[in-house]
Chains A and B, each alone.
Chain A
Amino acid sequence: MNDKDDALDEIVREFLVESAENLDQLDRDLVSLERDPTSRDLLAGIFRAVHTIKGTTGFLGFARLEQVAHRAENLLSKLRDGALELDTARTNILLEVSDTVRAILAHIEATGNDDDGRDRSDLLARLAELQEARAQGPGEVAIQTAPSQKTPGPASPVAEEIAREPQNEDAIAPEGETKQAAAPSVVTATAKTTAPKRPARNARGAGTAPATQATAPKAEPTAPVPAAAREETPSPTPRSSQDVPATVSLSAAEHTVRVDVDLLDGLMRQMGELVLARNQLVSHGNDLDDGGRALQRLSLIVSELQEGVTKTRMQPVEQLWAKLPRVVRDLAKQFSKEVDLSLEGGDTELDRSVLEAVKDPLTHLVRNALDHGIEGPAEREAAGKRRVGNLRLSASHQNGKVVLEMADDGAGIDPERVGAKAVEKGLVTPERLAQMTTREITDLVFQPGFSTAKQISNISGRGVGMDVVRTNIERIGGSVDLASTPRAGTTVRIKIPLTLAIIPALLVTARGSMYALAQAAVQELVHLEGAALREQVERVDTALLYRLRGHLLPLLRLDEALGYETTPFESQKALDIVIAQADGEPFGLVVDRVEGTQEIVVKPLAHQLKNLPVYAGATVLGDGSVALILDVAGLADSGSVREGRAAAQGGEVRSSEGGRAEALLLLRVGGERRVAVPLGLVERLEEVGAQQLEHAGNRRALQYRGELLPIVWLAEVLAIPAETLEGRRLPVVVCSDGERSVGLVAEQILDVVEEVVNVDAIGAAQGVLGTAVVQGRATDFLDLLTAAEYAGVVFRPSLDLSLSGVLSTNGPRPEVAANAS
């Protein structure tokens, strides 16, 4: 009794999963079909999806679902046979069918029956109507073939007959046979019409190959190729049977196994333990009799096993992409916009938990792009653009992370409007706004409570947009970056880790206990003592503030945040501060000691501890002890950080009256030229031996953190003679636009200064944006874009080099002689 129920449940569950996949495919195909209404491949695929659902529902006794699917199938079969043409009304109703079927499936999943108490008679009636309303269809063929039902006319009647016959059997056939029975009708359709077009839709996975052999022979007897088809195709029979595998996607069942996600998670967990145990063993390897050879082999196997297990949890980004065509289509219709969506890099793989975490933020960004980004057709034409807007999403691997990029060619973000709005909403003061760079202003859209929608639409513009996107992405150790050119478009770049299972972490101590912080949230580490401590840390009311390169950051003492009693800060001789960032706002976390970095496996906390916002989880360290993982966003939300922010806002305005101080890295280039680089663009400073440089053609590069870092001599950029650096160690300034890096070789690194500078563009020359007086001496401001080009690196042009807008990088720059090679 129980067994039987279980068996049935199993079938229903299988059906639900399979139908969900079919419906996703259906949505995609329908949207594609709307653009290419003549594609028989797509129609055949859609027909098959609906047909499969109908067949199985009949067998499982879901009468309501079957009814909907059946009507839809009738409409589809006419479309497929060319008796009707697909227009917007029909596409809409088919998408509505897809939604309805989804809703009923959800109900089945929840309750086990398909009676969700909703009346579908309207939908059914409209389906019937659209299937009869031939006058709407522009196809003359349809009118001609309609009366000729009984004569062996072209295409439709034959197909219809063949298509219908097996269907009636499917309704009562067991599930396993349904697919097979469905095949002949599909074959008929494709054999007739798709042969000249060849497989446009590729079959998914190699698993379909065996299916070919099974169904192709069957196709032959049931599919007498009609005369019409013979006229169209020179060699219909052999080719059409080759086409069968392309369109009959009998799923990759033979090559794949469905595995419960919990099981995979369990495997992954145990894998992590195995790796830790292995690492502990390896340190004793030399004590073993065989000199550790067996251990070495074990170690290798563990590594491979780990790689394999990690792979099982990887899923292609395609899964995210799959939902988008439908979303974009519906939104475009709703906003009366025309949008071309292109999706790239769907085969990029990500851990399923990461994929899950970016799904909502990504959908939100797409909605934003359609609502606020891309203009209406008329507006676009007025601006001299194509009527149809472009929305491009791509995914790729970069430096061990996955980068998702969404670019539109819409109106872009208008800094003035954003600024005005931010002031209006009280997010910044007008004084503060006046000092902000364009980029900083654009970034205001990430502020909570910000929304620039002129009128609130029901999709976006409710003020819970970009800040939520950023928070969600940062929560999984990723980052969101926004670049926009007014009138030309917006690009949003999301960087996310490949997996959440293992993350690099910074270990710190407080009151003798070790805590871990996700490295992704850590910006820099500062050790303060003596005069620096007294000068740079100040107390405003109860809040502690730290002055870092002109910015006032709130300080949070970790021991205090964890509820310990603290000694007054004035009694401390030195402070270790971790500058961490949450929601785009940095703050300083005062810790007892910084211990170092370690890769950690994140484990959830017991659910009773989940309501403690300061913890993100726990982990087992290399020595087997447990350490809590701190949640940076949770810490930043504590009272003292908020107080500090409020105090800092006031303090910053006061301190920066009379121009804003710039943090600059000063270099000596050639003999005595002094060159300044904005410190914000400097990633780090290195010293390398000349012999470490590698030469590729005329270019030089350095093996740096597992990659090749292109190197450029600043003296060359400035066209001045370089000092011989023979036998010396070279100072290398690593600059980055956040994605690509370049190493600048100077003669000497002089200093880091903070000064209010007035850059005069008069000094502009090759590689120099302008000149200013720094530390009482004339100093050239390096044009980093040009310098990067010397090394063959193209930096993002939107990169904010502009020193608070003093200089415009968009303005004319000295031409770069296309030398280098």
Chain B
Amino acid sequence: MPVEDVARESPSRQTGGASYESTEGGAPPGGQYCTFRLGGLTIGIDVHKVQEVIRHDRMTPVPLAPPELVGLINLRGEIVPALDLRSQLGLPSEGDLAASVLVRTKGETVSLLVAEVGDVVEPSPLDYEPVPPTVPARVRELVTGTFKLEGMLLLVLDPDRVLAHFGSASPQARQHA
């Protein structure tokens, strides 16, 4: 599916987070998820939190910034930090990150770089499972739960948590790297 379609299908742009209820610690959320591929994993983000998906052309590196910050992109005049979550998710930092998923949380827009954009899916709440305890702690910090779909596991990523860990988690990340 072309990137542009994903953006159009996310109905959230006007409503913002108004209808969205935090899933933190609560029951398995139903609803739709935008899916992305990153380092061999399939990641889902609540459609209400995805503002749009773009292909970025240029990025300005920020020396001295935390390592997950790849650079700054110009989104119609707004300067948006672009994050590569691979090291935080314990994934190998190889391969291109072609697409930029813009998520809006707490008044800030952040771009999450992904390798590939997938479909919008609506998994059955019955397929929901909490994050297995075998998953490394730093991944569990960002992922709220999983859905078992046909032949794959969808990791539900919470952009709020990503942002909360941005910068603060970097010394840790540096040590891991």
Interface set of A (CB-CB < 8 Å, partner B): 269-270, 272-273, 276, 511, 513-514, 562-564, 603, 605-609, 611-612, 614-615, 618-620, 624-628
Q: Which residues of A contact B167 (CB under 8 A)?
A: 608-609, 611
Q: Which residues of A contact B61 (CB under 8 A)?
A: 513
B3 at the interface (CB under 8 A from A): no
Known contacts A269-B77, A603-B79, A620-B74; A625 and B65 CB within 8 A of each other: no
Nearest A residue to B109 via CB reads: A606
B81 at the interface (CB under 8 A from A): yes
* Min CB gap A438→B, angstroms: 42
| A627 to B58 alpha-carbon distance, docked (Å) | 11
The 8 A-B pairs at the shortest CB distance, nearest first, are namely: A273-B77, A562-B63, A608-B167, A626-B60, A626-B72, A606-B81, A618-B79, A563-B64
Nearest A residue to B76 via CB reads: A273
B166 at the interface (CB under 8 A from A): yes
Residue pair A608, B63 in contact (C-beta under 8 Å): no
Q: Which residues of B contact A615 (CB under 8 A)?
A: 62
Residue pair B79, A620 in contact (C-beta under 8 Å): yes
* Min CB gap A391→B, angstroms: 43
Residue pair A609, B65 in contact (C-beta under 8 Å): yes
Contact with A along B51-83 (1 / 0, CB 8 A): 000000011111111100101111011111100
* Min CB gap A595→B, angstroms: 15
Known: A618-B79, A626-B60. 10 other contacts (CB 8 A): A276-B77, A513-B60, A513-B61, A603-B78, A606-B110, A608-B69, A612-B65, A618-B60, A620-B74, A620-B79
Residue pair A626, B74 in contact (C-beta under 8 Å): yes
Interface set of B (CB-CB < 8 Å, partner A): 58-66, 69, 71-74, 76-81, 108, 110, 163, 166-167
Known contacts A273-B76, A618-B72; A609 and B81 CB within 8 A of each other: yes
Residue pair B64, A625 in contact (C-beta under 8 Å): no
Show 17 A/B contacts (Cβ-Cβ < 8 Å), sorted by A. Answer: A269-B77, A276-B77, A513-B60, A513-B61, A562-B63, A564-B63, A606-B79, A606-B81, A606-B108, A606-B110, A608-B69, A611-B167, A615-B62, A618-B72, A620-B74, A626-B59, A626-B71
Nearest B residue to A610 via CB reads: B167
* Min CB gap A163→B, angstroms: 50
Nearest A residue to B166 via CB reads: A608
Nearest B residue to A619 via CB reads: B79
Q: Which residues of B contact A620 (CB under 8 A)?
A: 74, 77, 79
Among the interface residues B78, B79, B80, which one has the most CB atoms of the partner chain A within 10 A?
A: B79
* Min CB gap B85→A, angstroms: 14
| A437 to B40 alpha-carbon distance, docked (Å) | 69
| A234 to B141 alpha-carbon distance, docked (Å) | 84
Choice from A276, A614, A626 contacting B64 with Cβ under 8 Å: A614
Nearest B residue to A273 via CB reads: B77
* Min CB gap B58→A, angstroms: 5
| A624 to B60 alpha-carbon distance, docked (Å) | 11
Q: Which residues of B contact A605 (CB under 8 A)?
A: 79
Residue pair B81, A608 in contact (C-beta under 8 Å): yes
| A620 to B61 alpha-carbon distance, docked (Å) | 14
Choice from B58, B62, B69 contacting A628 with Cβ under 8 Å: B62
* Min CB gap A306→B, angstroms: 14
Q: Which residues of B contact A511 (CB under 8 A)?
A: 63
Choice from A562, A607, A612, A626 contacting B79 with Cβ under 8 Å: A626
| A603 to B64 alpha-carbon distance, docked (Å) | 19
* Min CB gap B57→A, angstroms: 9
Q: Which residues of A contact B78 (CB under 8 A)?
A: 603
Known contacts A513-B60, A562-B63, A626-B60; A270 and B72 CB within 8 A of each other: no
Choice from B58, B59, B69, B77 contacting A609 with Cβ under 8 Å: B69
Among the interface residues B69, B71, B81, which one has the most CB atoms of the partner chain A within 10 A?
A: B81
* Min CB gap B144→A, angstroms: 21
Choice from A272, A513, A606 contacting B77 with Cβ under 8 Å: A272
Q: Which residues of B contact A269 (CB under 8 A)?
A: 77
| A513 to B72 alpha-carbon distance, docked (Å) | 12
Residue pair B66, A625 in contact (C-beta under 8 Å): no
Q: Which residues of A contact B63 (CB under 8 A)?
A: 511, 513, 562-564
Q: Which residues of A contact B64 (CB under 8 A)?
A: 562-563, 612, 614
| A269 to B78 alpha-carbon distance, docked (Å) | 9
* Min CB gap B169→A, angstroms: 11
* Min CB gap B116→A, angstroms: 25
* Min CB gap B78→A, angstroms: 8
Known contacts A513-B61, A612-B64, A614-B64; A626 and B77 CB within 8 A of each other: no
Residue pair A626, B73 in contact (C-beta under 8 Å): yes
| A564 to B62 alpha-carbon distance, docked (Å) | 12
| A226 to B132 alpha-carbon distance, docked (Å) | 90
Q: Which residues of A contact B71 (CB under 8 A)?
A: 626
| A619 to B78 alpha-carbon distance, docked (Å) | 9
